Structure 1
Amino acid sequence: MSSNMQPKRKIYSALKIIIPALVFFVSIGFVGKKQEEKLCRKIIVRIENQDGNFFINEGDIMDVVTKNGQEMVVNLPFENVKLKEIEERIEQLKFVQSAQVYRDLSGYMMIDAMQAKPIARIFNPGGKDYYISDRGEIIPVSDRFTARVMVLSGSFFKPYLNKNMLLDDAGRDLFNFIKFIEKDRFWSAQFAQLEVDKRGMIKIYPQVTKQLIEFGNTFEYANKLSKLKIFYDKILPDRGWNRYDRVNLQFKDQIICE
């Protein structure tokens, strides 16, 4: 046997030991990485629709996810995390309109929460006030934050305070009117309060001028607002901003000033 064959056999024998060992360690590393990819590595919370209204924050949602710190979620295998159940719990928060909870490709738990947006506040002399959201939902006020929105008062709202929505026939018409005002930059700046009686008849208290506006019901409200715009643009500058105490828009094609 040649002297060259001896080193080759030793190399071959060494490789027979080293290669399986390398395969073993690579396999362990691969399995470990796969296991790590299955873990919840981080929770990312994104809150939408705030627009300067901060009724909920990341801490509120994390308290729901972890049940006030009682349950560990980070570093837990995703197969042990009930994403749908967490989503449903988040949606129970009074200022959350909707939520989506899902896992992304990085192993993060992603939470997208849509905050309810208040557009008016119901003044309730007999108890707690409420907000009306931009979807017609009636939601409680917050101890943490107060939204700067138009005030609503009057006996019309009393039957709705124990309901979740202002969206039956009469309520829907009024909600559409309130939403129209909230979206219009001019009218939202003009109106401080709507007082609505049980028949749905509206009195408007302006922000700046002192006139009480007898608006009537919401029927053809766009035409009534057009008449009121004429009052602001033509009559008040000519006659004086505080000359009239009352403006009545209830009659077709008329503006009655007293």
Structure 2
Amino acid sequence: MKRIKKSVHLVTMLIILVTAIGATEYRRQQRVCTQISVAIEHDGIESFVSEREIRGLLQQGEKSIIGLPLNGLELKQLEHRVLGNPYVEWANVHYDLEGKVHVAVQQSRPIARIIHPKLPDAYVSTTGKLLPLSGRHTARVMLVGGTFIPKLIKGDWNQDSTGNQLLSLAKYIEQDDFWRAQIAQMDVNQQGEVTLHPQVGKQTIKFGKPDQIAEKFDKLELFYQQILPRKGWNYYNGVNLTYENQIVCD
């Protein structure tokens, strides 16, 4: 008799458990999107993409996804749409138990502006991605020009060996407070050799190939700290950093 009661009890508990699971699954399938939450990480720079733009990318045709069943939303497809904005570096879309759709966005960070007389200007991001100019803000970043630019104005700088080196150079300058303020422009010739133009002082800085970056900037720092104070800021017209263990001034 006890065994029968125990078996009945187990069957009853199993039925209750299955019913609860079924009810939970039914409620899950009936849940709809109640709200959209957008979080944009700007990384301390101007906002080049807005919440309104992100919400617009989540439309299903001309309709908002609010009110649509959550189980009918293609989250990866929504992420792909958000990534269609050139200023979005990374995106994640998910929903919670309350029906709220969360969109997390990492904004691309421009570190240089590419200029060329025959080509439209563009920004390059920290990851080497080319970005169109924005109607919202103008990034205060170093200019990059020269005859090598047509080779870099399309695609990703990481796909070109010289472009990859130039990206490392631009990032090195951007990450240092002094050099970011002092270097106004970087010109690159057909051979991929770099000339830097400072904000203060008339000297052109012959950097050469964008390699041995830290060593060359150590020499340039020495030039600013020890040579110019003795000779004066406008005494030299140029400084050459291309020779190993040497600083050549003219």
TM bracket, shorter-chain basis? 0.7 to 0.9
Aligned to 1:221: 213
- Looking at structure 2, the residues matched to 86 and 102 of structure 1 have their Cα atoms a distance apart, in angstroms, of 10
* Letter of the 2:88 counterpart: V
- Correspondent of 1:102 among 94, 98, 103: 94
Alpha-carbon deviation of 1:104? 1.6
- Give the superposition deviation at 1:35: 7.0
Corresponding residue of 2:148 = 156
Structure 1 residue ranges without an equivalent (≥5):
1-29
**CA displacement at 1:50 relative to structure 2:** 4.1
- 55-64 vs 76-85, which moves further: 76-85
* Greater Cα radius of gyration, structure 1 or 2: 1
Contact 2:36 2:102 in 1 (8 A): yes
CA distance in 2, matches of 1:167, 1:226: 28
**TM-score of the aligned structures, taking structure 1 as reference length:** 0.82
- 1:138·1:166 contact (CA, 8 Å) conserved in 2? no
Q: Does 1:117 align with 2:109?
A: yes
Match of 1:63 in 2: 56
CA distance in 1 between counterparts of 2:178 and 2:60 reads 45
Amino acid at match of 1:221: I
- Identical-pair percentage: 37
Flag the 1:194–1:66 CA change in 2: closer, same or farther, 3 A.
same
Question: Which letter maps to 2:37?
Answer: I
* Residue aligned with 1:129, SS: strand
Please give the alpha-carbon distance, in whole angstroms, between the structure 1 residues aligned to 2:58 and 2:127.
Answer: 26
Aligned counterpart, 1:23:
none
The 2-side partners of 1:67 and 1:207 are apart by 49
Do residues 231 (structure 1) and 240 (structure 2) align? no
Structure 2: segments with no counterpart, 5+ residues? 1-22
In 2, the alpha carbon distance for the partners of 1:36 and 1:43 equals 18
Q: Please give the residue correspondences for 1:1-258 in structure 2 after superposition, counting only pairs within 5 Å.
A: 34=27, 38-66=31-59, 70-258=62-250
- TM-score, normalized by length of structure 2? 0.84
Map of 1:8 onto structure 2: none
After superposition, give the CA deviation of every residue in 1:132-151 in whole Å (9 maximum; x if it has no partner): 11111112111221111111
Q: How many Å apart are 1:53 and its aligned residue?
A: 2.0
| Count, aligned residues | 227
- Tell me the amino acid that sits aligned with residue 142 of structure 1: S
Give the whole-Å Cα distance in 2 for the aligned partners of 1:72 and 1:144. 24
Amino acid at match of 1:128: P
Give 3-state SS (helix, strand or coil) of 1:46's partner.
strand
